[in-house]
Chains A and B, each alone.
Chain A
């Protein structure tokens, strides 16, 4: 099981970001910390994480067992991911307190992946050292670009040089466990500029890279500029070329393309993120955090989609008064669970394995649903998809078109 504490504050609004984040003059960190700790305890108790049964061990799929999470004993938290906002703005004390609370309420094995999302502007060697001492053992650094003009367009507060320094410091402190984020498809960005940027990043990076095509989100400054005609919208074909180029370069550099936007070498896959794509259970803690788990502790026996209250002050008040601040709980029907298993699993190179499918659908096999004549068979014939002994997964060409494949597959699933 995974736990995702959210730190909702940022120092500055990035031009492309539509996350639930707040730029405030002063943060009451002690109160925030106390509430994160309290909500983590409450939700761990509700979920009775010790009853979770880990899945996916010992399967003989084509991608091997190394993709599966480390084999912990039951009742353990397998990963923690401090996200945000900008969680690297919080003090190591806060992270230590949350991790202590987790360890107190459930089992947190020593080797469990504990990631912190860090901005280069709040990732000095001293701070990073403090985070490590607090229990963080993996860093995900929001580099985004190594070009100052691009960083400015994105509204980032750091320079390319600061990003380099942060990554270098992180690699020293978290060798083999430092990831960098990059964005491509910026307005006006050329194929050449992107390739050069990626080359520079490859020289800098450790064993994990996330490449995100810029998504113009409603309500962001960047989207307003593009939709208002003040910045050029990148052409579709150029974006496809950029993605293709990047995949080729990273694979050539020894990376495994294990998810649409994620690449790892030397087995440095993100355990935490894989748990989303494998439809495992995760608990969201903090303002606006999302979760998916069965609330055994409340007598529930169905998987629920949960969202915590968005606004930090309201969230804090609710946590203080009732221990947690779940704003919305939706019981996911068996069909909805399978829809998530399918839509998320196909993002990975292992795809949806028979075993995982069987866990959610004991009576109707993956073959029974997608082996029958219909959309999946057509897509297989056209070469986008494979259904074999390993499971159902995208071919390389199909992965880039996944969002065109899924609606048809969902229709077939709904009929099945």
Chain B
């Protein structure tokens, strides 16, 4: 799973070296046919009218990370002749550098395949979905344009936490589900066991499973046949007025917004005047086409088809995901659309050097154009200067965003420790008046209202799914209890594997839960989670003091039960992170006026270098000058000098034991 590739220092200072240029373009080694970025000239436009609704199948592939979703997609593209068959087709739909590096899909991509089955030409629209729950809003978005899914399960690993989550997303959307057991070529493959798990957990008869090896191409053709046979064509009619669902969008600097659309009725072509049901704005269509997987212009798109549209939209917000487009003067009932993605994790983001503020600002603006799920609020910190507080859908989302910022925009940033959006129900009339409401969301500990003016604090929770070999159950239950989680379900999915469901306070899993789970299960347990609303919680704000002066960036909101342990831990970590100085330093954790933990950093007594002769001087001076430079960058709290990265180093592994 992608979280496993998290680097140790992932929200610490990120180096600005090692950059690759223009990762949004396809690498040069891709076959020319699919390597033309954004082509609107050259090839003749396709006539899509030869594909009536009955011959269209819209589907997604869903899977746990590394179970072979992208490899299967590559094979499907090859078999249908969509891309040339070479041994270099790897994750063709994963266009972002971060996707290829991490082996995950972050952004949904689509590809139209042409497939002849029993003499009939079919148009199969494959809508690739992100593989992680952080991006589940992308998954459900993609699924809304589909009538069926291919559920890929690794023949060796069996059902994992994300398999379960993805299955339920498809099941709830009432889609046809084709279970596929992949990697049967592997030595330890046990497809029978996996078939039994699928039957037990998902109630799908064993005989419906297709055993394949996407890597070797074994049985992949059979998957295509199943797609044609099992997945129903979309229910819609070209004779109806135009009704197009915007299920994704990207931003192109030259052409503006490119909206991915699924037609639920009617047809669309260049020159049509269309209206957005959401904004009521009018546009004229410049171009329509299908994705193969690059843009391939067509004369028209017809009901049931999936493709893209360019219509002079200047900003991504104009192509609201879930919006319905219709023809001017032919309004239709809008499609239900989507709930907007809700940030679950917040973190401060600051330029490493304040002189880079404007560069970072423009990079953020550009990146959020393609990722509207990130929320951005301006923020500032005494230590780190001017920056932003960003909201992410989850930890992986935060990581990926950060990596894209680095790779695609060549910026390095300081990310503070992630925090979750707490809430407070206010009791003070004055505060209610001030905020204009009785319940506020706290995304920054500095805004934490005092207990006296609050009737109740609330914390966000998630429903976590853990799939593990049974021998680790004991340890995992202890871990979950330690994280204040409540068990909701426990089910043996076969003789050896157990699925556990726990209700977690979100902040307990934000930092390191996944890493801990992986390490105590030797890497075998998998984890996934979904939003589960808010619960009342006994929250307090804890301050950290250096020689009596509070350290703003270390103020944290925590559960009362954890205050002593966390306070002690933070003080200990800070003691290691602050260099000794010419005087003694008291490091304290405090709740209000009450000190709950203390460490003492003793004064330096000797640090002068022993040898400094002719040959040592150059090196010595270089070091001293670097220290002098470093001194200028030190954050001074009272008279204590603290290296800028000390707090981040402390926060980074806040809950390590």
Q: Is there contact, CB below 8 Å, between A284 and B615? A: yes
Q: Is the CB of A343 within 8 A of B620?
A: yes
Assess A260 versus B612: contact at CB under 8 Å? Given A236-B605, A403-B607: yes
A167 smallest CB distance to B (angstroms) = 21
Nearest CB to that of A288 among chain B residues?
B615
Return chain A residues, CB-CB under 8 Å to B580. 236
Tell me whether A282 and B614 are in contact (CB under 8 A).
Answer: yes
Q: Are B605 and A240 within 8 A (Cβ)? A: yes
Q: Is B604 an interface residue (CB 8 A)?
A: yes
Q: Please, how many angstroms separate the alpha-carbon atoms of A51 and B133 in the complex?
A: 77
Q: Which of A276, A384, A401 contacts B613 (CB 8 A)?
A: A276
Given contacts A237-B602, A339-B621, A343-B621, contact A403 B614 (CB under 8 A): no
Which B623-645 residues sit within 8 Å CB-CB of chain A? 624-625, 627-628, 630-632
Query: Which residues of chain B come closer than 8 Å to A284, judged between CB atoms?
Result: 614-615
In the assembled complex, the Cα of A271 lies from the Cα of B621 at a distance in Å of 22
**CB pair A343 B624 closer than 8 Å:** yes
Please determine whether B614 and A291 come into contact, CB atoms closer than 8 angstroms. Answer: yes
Chain B 581-625 residues near chain A, CB threshold 8 A: 581-582, 602, 604-615, 617-618, 620-621, 624-625
Q: What is the bound-complex CA distance between A19 and B621, given in angstroms? A: 18
Contact status A404-B611, CB under 8 Å: no
Residue B609 contacts which of A4, A215, A339, A382 (CB distance < 8 angstroms)?
A215
Q: Given A236-B605, A240-B606, A401-B604, A384–B621 Cβ distance below 8 Å?
A: no
Please, which residues of chain B bring their CB within 8 A of the CB of A340?
Answer: 617, 621
Mask: chain A, 271-312; 1 = CB below 8 Å from B; 0 = not: 001001100001010001111100000000000010100000
Minimum C-beta distance from B563 to chain A (A) = 32
Chain A nearest CB, measured from B106 CB (Å):
39
* A337, chain B: closest CB distance, angstroms: 10
CA distance A340 to B620 in the complex (A): 9
- A315 located at the interface, meaning its Cβ lies under 8 Å from any Cβ of chain B in the complex: no
CB closest chain-B residue, reference A336: B621
- CB neighbours of A305 from chain B (8 A): 617-618
Determine whether the beta carbon of B631 is less than 8 Å from that of A215: no
A407 at the interface (CB under 8 A from B): yes
| Residue contact B612 to A404, C-beta cutoff 8 Å | no
Contacting pair A237 B605 (CB below 8 A) = yes
Q: Please, which residue of chain A has its CB at the minimum distance from the CB of B602?
A: A237
Closest residue of A by beta carbon distance from B612: A347
Are A410 and B628 in contact, with the CB atoms below 8 A? yes
Contact of A290 with B615 in the complex, beta carbons under 8 Å? yes
Interface 1/0 per residue, A1-21 and B, CB below 8 Å: 000100000000000000110
A400 within 8 A of B: yes
The residue on A at minimum CB distance from B631 is A407
Complexed CA–CA distance, A290 and B630 (Å): 27
Q: B624–A404 contact, CB under 8 A?
A: no
CB pair B582–A382 under 8 Å, yes or no, is: yes
Q: What sequence of 0s and 1s flags, for each residue 36-52 of chain B, a beta carbon within 8 Å of any chain A beta carbon?
A: 00000000000000000
A230 at the interface (CB under 8 A from B): no
- The CA-CA distance from A239 to B612 in the complex, in Å, is 18
Q: Is the pair B581, A400 in contact by a Cβ cutoff of 8 Å?
A: no
Q: Are B607 and A404 in contact (CB under 8 A)?
A: yes
The answer to whether B609 touches A411, judged by C-beta atoms less than 8 angstroms apart, is: no
Number of A-B contacts (CB under 8 A): 105
> CA–CA, A261 to B606, complex, Å?
12
Query: What's the nearest-Cβ distance from chain B to residue A193, in Å?
Result: 18
A139 contacts B by Cβ under 8 Å? no
Provided the pairs A213-B610, A400-B606, A404-B582 are in contact, do residues A414 and B617 lie with their beta carbons within 8 angstroms? no
Q: Are A4 and B604 in contact (CB under 8 A)?
A: no
Once the chains bind, are A339 and B625 in contact (CB under 8 Å)? yes
Decide: B610 and A212 in contact? CB cutoff 8 A. yes
Q: Chain B's nearest CB lies how many Å from the CB of A85?
A: 11
Q: Which of A344-372 contact B (CB under 8 A)?
A: 344, 347
**Is residue A402 within 8 Å, beta carbon to beta carbon, of the partner chain?**
yes
Which residues of the other chain, B, contact A4 by a CB distance below 8 angstroms?
614
Q: Which residues of A contact B581 (CB under 8 A)?
A: 404
Q: In the docked arrangement, what's the CA distance between A407 and B623, Å?
A: 9
The answer to the question of A221 belonging to the interface, with a C-beta cut-off of 8 Å to chain B, is: no
Partner of A400, one of B605, B613, B615, B621: B605
Query: Is A399 on the interface with B (CB-CB < 8 A)?
Result: yes
Residue of B nearest to A402 (CB): B608
Interface pair B612/A276, CB less than 8 Å apart? yes
Q: Which of A379-404 contact B (CB under 8 A)?
A: 382, 384, 399-404
Least Cβ–Cβ distance between B630 and chain A, in angstroms:
7
* Structural contact, A344 and B624, CB atoms closer than 8 A: no
Q: How far apart sit A347 and B612, CA to CA, in the bound complex (Å)? A: 9
Interface centre among A83, A261, A407 (most CB of B within 10 A): A407
Taking the closest CB of chain B, its distance from the CB of A177, in whole angstroms, is 19
Is A219 interfacial (CB-CB < 8 Å)?
Answer: no
CB proximity of A266 to chain B, nearest CB, Å: 23
Say yes or no for A243: interface residue by CB 8 A criterion: yes
Q: How far, in whole Å, are A290 and B614 apart by their CA atoms in the complex?
A: 6
Task: Report whether A407 and B612 are in contact in the complex, using a CB–CB cutoff of 8 Å.
Answer: no
A137 to B321, CA, bound (A): 88
Q: Which residues of B contact A331 (CB under 8 A)?
A: none
In whole angstroms, how far apart are the Cα atoms of A214 and B627 in the complex? 22
Residues of B within 8 A of A215 (CB): 609-611
A236–B606 CB distance below 8 A: yes
Question: Which residues of B are found within 8 Å of A237, using beta-carbon distances?
Answer: 602, 605
A290 to B620, CA, bound (A): 13
Give the chain A neighbours of B628 by CB distance below 8 A.
406-408, 410-411, 414
Distance between Cα atoms of A219 and B608 in the complex (Å): 21
Find chain A residues with CB under 8 A from B610 CB: 211-215, 260-261
A-chain residues with CB within 8 Å of residue B609 when the two chains form the complex? 215, 260, 403
A214 CA to B580 CA, complexed, in Å: 20
CB atoms of A401 and B630 under 8 A apart: no
Taking CB atoms, residues of chain A closer than 8 Å to B630 are: 407
Distance in Å: Cβ of A276 to nearest Cβ of chain B: 5
Q: Report the separation of the CA atoms of residues A19 and B611 in the bound assembly, to the nearest whole angstrom.
A: 12
Does B611 lie within 8 Å of A261, measured CB to CB?
yes
**For chain A residues 319-343, which have a beta carbon within 8 Å of chain B?**
336, 339-340, 343
CB B366 to nearest CB in A, in angstroms, measures 37
Residues from chain B with Cβ under 8 Å of A406 in the complex: 624, 627-628
Contacts of A347 in B (CB 8 A): 608, 612
Given contacts A276-B617, A290-B618, A291-B614, contact A260 B608 (CB under 8 A): yes
| A193-B615 Cα distance, complex, nearest whole Å | 31
Closest A residue to B581 by beta carbon equals: A404
Residue of B whose beta carbon sits closest to that of A384: B582
Say yes or no: B612 contacts A403, CB within 8 Å: no
A402 to B632, CA, bound (A): 18
User: How far apart are A398's CB and chain B's nearest CB, in angstroms?
Assistant: 9
Residue contact B620 to A401, C-beta cutoff 8 Å: no
Q: Could you tell me which residues of chain A, from 103 to 134, have a CB within 8 Å of some CB in chain B?
A: none
Residue of B nearest to A403 (CB): B607
Q: Which residues of A contact B582 (CB under 8 A)?
A: 382, 384, 401, 404
Q: Which residues of B contact A400 (CB under 8 A)?
A: 605-608
**Chain A positions within 8 Å of B607 at CB level:** 400-404
Interface code A136-171, partner B: CB below 8 Å = 1, 0 otherwise? 000000000000000000000000000000000000
What's the Cα separation between A305 and B613 when bound, in Å? 13
A274 to chain B, nearest CB (A): 11
Sample of 27 A–B contacts (CB below 8 Å):
A20-B615, A211-B610, A212-B611, A236-B605, A236-B606, A237-B602, A237-B605, A243-B606, A260-B610, A276-B612, A276-B617, A282-B614, A284-B615, A290-B614, A290-B617, A339-B624, A340-B621, A343-B620, A343-B621, A347-B612, A401-B582, A401-B608, A403-B627, A404-B604, A407-B628, A411-B628, A414-B628
B interface residues (Cβ-Cβ under 8 A, vs A):
580-582, 602, 604-615, 617-618, 620-621, 624-625, 627-628, 630-632
Identify 12 new A-B residue pairs, CB closer than 8 A, beyond the known A384-B582, A404-B581: A19-B615, A236-B606, A237-B605, A260-B608, A307-B618, A347-B608, A400-B606, A400-B608, A401-B608, A403-B624, A403-B627, A410-B625
10 A-B pairs with least C-beta separation: A240-B605, A240-B606, A410-B628, A400-B606, A407-B627, A402-B608, A212-B610, A407-B628, A213-B610, A290-B615
